[in-house]
Structure 1
Amino acid sequence: MTPPVDPARYAAYLGVMAVMVAAPGPANLFSIANGARRGHAAVVLGMLGMNTASLVWIGGAALGLAALATTMPLAFRLLAWGGAAYVAWLGLQSLLSARHPDAPLAHGLKLGGRSAFADGFAVQISNPKAMLFITAVLPPFIDASRPLPGQLAVFGGTLIAMDAVSMTAYGFGGAALARRMNEPHFRRGFAIFTGVLLIAAAALIALRG
């Protein structure tokens, strides 16, 4: 039985994706901030939101989104810039919260967005790395002599699995700092740090977009 993908191509794909997934891009920076401000459960929800967006991109590949990205680049730039503005807004909210470090935590500090899942989805749907995967990284690994659906399933499933591990690891690292959030001075400093982190992620999205 012929495998869905060529083993040699798949090995090369794993090497390329390992570098891309581990790099501290917008998704991983968001995971750190999300974990630190919301805790472990939100890390998982944020990761699920980001990977749901990745599934949208992978589904788009099956529908010829790569060709659309080539013929209508402005639409994709606008998508990236819109996502960058949203992430920058989250960062600004965090910076503003640093003015009131003595405010009660109630259910924990929040990033200011709707939910960890929705915020994660918004970050990844506008993440240029996801667009880059569809338009530049994936095509060279596609074998025209093999069925496309099987290849997309394998390559896309691998990306989702690797991203899930990386995003969760980054997020849990951020959540490890959450124990100190009851200290007002630490909370103020970390609110500033989180805000800067999110604005840096927004800058990455905008510049790469």
Structure 2
Amino acid sequence: MTIHVWWLFAVTVFLLSATPGPNMLHALTRSVHLGFRRAAPAFAGCLSAVFCVLVLSAAGVGTLLAALPRLFDVIRYAGAGYLLWLGVRAWMAPVHDAGEAAVVGPGMTGWGVYRGGFLTGISNPKLLLFAAAFFPQFIDRHAAVAGQFAILIATFVGIESFWLLLYGLGGRKLARLIGTPRMKRLFNRVTGTVFLGFGAVLLRGRS
């Protein structure tokens, strides 16, 4: 893999990661409700999920899922169900004058925040097939494959980290603008609707 190929990969991933999706929306909402510092485990959870998916794709699991449509459908429906649940939970969340929105329970631990981020990231099985089809385009089969996959995965995770932190910082600033219960309720319903939309798109997607 040449430096030119690596740059092409990095630019492509940078633009793709910038596009708002479940991970970025989760980072934004957690930062709004918890504050940037307490939301950090959610960012780590999303990144852990992305890392796991990329490693599985590099190991060829994406090809296995493509060859077994029914298995992929099971994973797809489970992921869509979780996104729909997030949407309903955000939409129905009560709002208080101070403190965290009920989307994030007052007793939620760092592990709970991390787990939510991981489940959000892992609930999109399209990432698995995307990575399985995307990575081989940048791999030189005449060189050591494992090392190239390691570089590509590290690059992907690094870029994803940048955008997650950027969205998280945006959430901290957004929290200052939605201090009233009315604005918080509007924010919860907008984000809930977006999560519901992600889930609906995933349900309608073809395996």
Q: Do these two structures clear the TM 0.5 threshold for a shared fold by scoring above it? A: yes
Q: CA deviation at 1:55?
A: 1.7
Q: Within 5 A, what are the aligned runs for 1:179-190?
A: 179-180=176-177, 182-190=179-187
**Structure 1 letter corresponding to 2:155:** T
**Structure 2 letter corresponding to 1:47:** F
SS at match of 2:142: coil
Say what the alpha-carbon RMSD is for the aligned residues: 2.3
Q: Could you tell me which residue of structure 2 aligns to residue 67 of structure 1?
A: 63
Is the CA contact (8 Å cut-off) linking 1:30 and 1:198 kept in structure 2?
no
Q: Could you tell me which residue of structure 2 aligns to residue 50 of structure 1?
A: 46
Is the CA contact (8 Å cut-off) linking 1:180 and 1:187 kept in structure 2?
no
Q: Is structure 2 residue 103 aligned with structure 1 residue 111? A: yes
Q: Could you tell me which residue of structure 2 aligns to residue 177 of structure 1?
A: 174
Distance 2:34 2:123 in 1: 22
Deviations 1:77-118 (Å, cap 9, x if unpaired)?
322321221122122112112xx43x4645x12435872211
Q: When the two structures are aligned, how many residues end up with a matched partner?
A: 201
Distance 1:196 1:36 in 2: 17
User: Given the superposition, is the C-alpha separation of residues 204 and 171 from structure 1 closer, same or farther in structure 2, using an over 3 Å criterion?
Assistant: farther
Q: Is structure 2 residue 15 aligned with structure 1 residue 23? A: no
Is the CA contact (8 Å cut-off) linking 1:126 and 1:205 kept in structure 2?
no
Is the CA contact (8 Å cut-off) linking 2:82 and 2:123 kept in structure 1?
no
User: Given the superposition, is the C-alpha separation of residues 182 and 24 from structure 1 closer, same or farther in structure 2, using an over 3 Å criterion?
Assistant: closer
User: Given the superposition, is the C-alpha separation of residues 20 and 128 from structure 1 closer, same or farther in structure 2, using an over 3 Å criterion?
Assistant: farther
Distance 1:180 1:96 in 2: 21
Distance 2:160 2:176 in 1: 26
**Structure 2 letter corresponding to 1:173:** G
**Structure 2 letter corresponding to 1:67:** T
The TM-score, its normalising length taken from structure 2, stands at: 0.84
Deviations 1:53-92 (Å, cap 9, x if unpaired)?
1221222134321321221133223223212211221221
Unaligned runs of 5+ in 1: none
> Which one is further off, 177-186 or 48-57?
177-186
Unaligned runs of 5+ in 2: none
Of 159, 167, 176, which residue of structure 2 is paired with 1:162? 159
SS at match of 1:138: helix
